Amino acid sequence: MEEVTRMPLLGDKFPEISVQTTHGPMKLPDQYKGKWWVLFSHPADFTPVCTTEFIAFAKRADEFYKLGVELIGLSVDQVFSHIKWVEWIDEKMGVKIPFPVIADSAEGVSKALGMIHPGAGSSNTVRAVFVMDPESKIRLVIYYPKEIGRSIDEILRAVKALQVSDNYNVAAPENWPNNEILKDKVILPPASSIQDAEARKGKENCYDWWFCYKNL
């Protein structure tokens, strides 16, 4: 029977694995111990959609770095292919890729994270995003079909929201900080007791006892 690798669940620890990258060998997740980091895979080098994504990640890299977030790419292409592709993006598009790119194998990180779709008839990685926190726990997973490019702004927004949630023990509403109802306000945790629920009734910044919000 064919071995099936399950996709990791939110809250799982990132698996320990050694990788070869365009910046040299690394050991994950130790390389980013104590930091937030984003791992994003692409189906193949020298493909148009992936090229547009890498350019967008590169142009927003400083915004990630200001949040203390590291970036690392991945596909099953060999390291020399990654290097040539990164050179091409610099020469033809005028954009330098500042982050490392993992040269993976179908038995490496891709398999450990369930990024090889056995029914797709291909050994290429899917278009995936994994966000890890400073404890190397997987906090967010997004999968895209190969036909659709990612929104890097959405990934950046999600990382900001996760950090705010952790730092202030709150939840972020839809499209935070540009929610149609709450704007940049955040949502308080649910009432923890009947007494707490009663105290919230009719309180300012509460639509009801189960829906309260505040400014940061």
Give the H/E segment covering residue 17. Answer: strand 17-21
Instruction: Using DSSP bridges, classify how beta strands 69-75 and 101-103 pair: parallel, antiparallel or unpaired.
Output: parallel
For 185-198, what is the mean pLDDT?
95
Tell me, yes or no, whether 121 and 184 share the same domain: no
Tell me, yes or no, whether 38 and 127 share the same domain: yes
In a domain, 201, yes or no: yes
| Domain harbouring 192, CATH code | 3.30.1020.10
- To the query of whether residue 50 is one of the catalytic residues in this protein, the response is yes
pLDDT category of residue 2 using cuts at 50, 70 and 90: very low
> Per residue in 5-58, pLDDT tens?
567 899 999 999 999 999 999 999 999 999 999 999 998 999 999 999 999 999
Tell me, yes or no, whether 22 and 103 share the same domain: yes
- What domain range includes position 96? 17-149
Tell me, yes or no, whether 114 and 175 share the same domain: no
In a domain, 12, yes or no: no
Is residue 213 a contact partner of residue 172, using CB atoms and an 8 Å limit?
no
> Per residue in 68-87, pLDDT tens?
999 999 988 899 999 999 99
> Per residue in 203-213, pLDDT tens?
999 999 999 99
CA distance linking residue 113 with residue 17, whole number of Å: 11
- Which residue in the list 19, 38, 39, 50 is annotated as catalytic? 50
Domain boundary among 120, 149, 178: 149
Domain boundary among 121, 149, 177: 149
162 has a pLDDT exceeding 70: yes
In a domain, 4, yes or no: no
Write the burial class of residue 107 (CB in 10 Å: 0-12 exposed, 13-18 middle, 19+ buried): exposed
Q: What is the pLDDT of residue 125?
A: 74
Its pTM stands at 0.91
Tell me, yes or no, whether 76 and 139 share the same domain: yes
Q: What is the pLDDT of residue 156?
A: 98
What percentage of the chain carries pLDDT values higher than 90?
Answer: 78
The chain-wide mean pLDDT, for the chain, equals 91
Is residue 141 a contact partner of residue 41, using CB atoms and an 8 Å limit?
no
